[in-house]
Amino acid sequence: MKRKQKKKEENLKRIHRKSILFNKRELNAINHYCRKYKIKNRSKFMRETIISAILQRFDEDHPSLFEDQPNLFAPSKRNY
């Protein structure tokens, strides 16, 4: 049981880095939001916000009967 647990944890490790740039107004808005709602972990906040927007879009654009469904948890064939 422990081996499965360890392998699962390794698959969930965050090892891929992405960078994002903001202008001053965007950064001020983010800083204001984080202060107002007492968000301490901005990395977690941005990650959750981005992923929730993506999942919401997938729900809105659900495939029709004859379209391929993306498997979000399958290993990717492309290198980004």
Q: What are phi and psi of 13, to 5 degrees?
A: -60, 140
Nearest to 27 by CA among 38, 9, 42, 17: 42
Expressed as residue numbers, the domain containing 27 is 20-59
pLDDT in tens, 44-60: 999 999 999 999 998 88
Q: Is residue 70 part of a domain?
A: no
pLDDT digits (tens, 9 = 90+) for 19-40: 999 999 999 999 999 999 999 9
Q: Looking at residue 7, what is its pLDDT?
A: 72
Instruction: Decide if 22 contacts 30 (C-beta within 8 A).
Output: yes
Domain count, the chain: 1
Q: What is the pLDDT of residue 67?
A: 62
Query: Is residue 12 scored above 80 in pLDDT?
Result: yes
33 inside domain:
yes
Residue 46 domain flag? yes
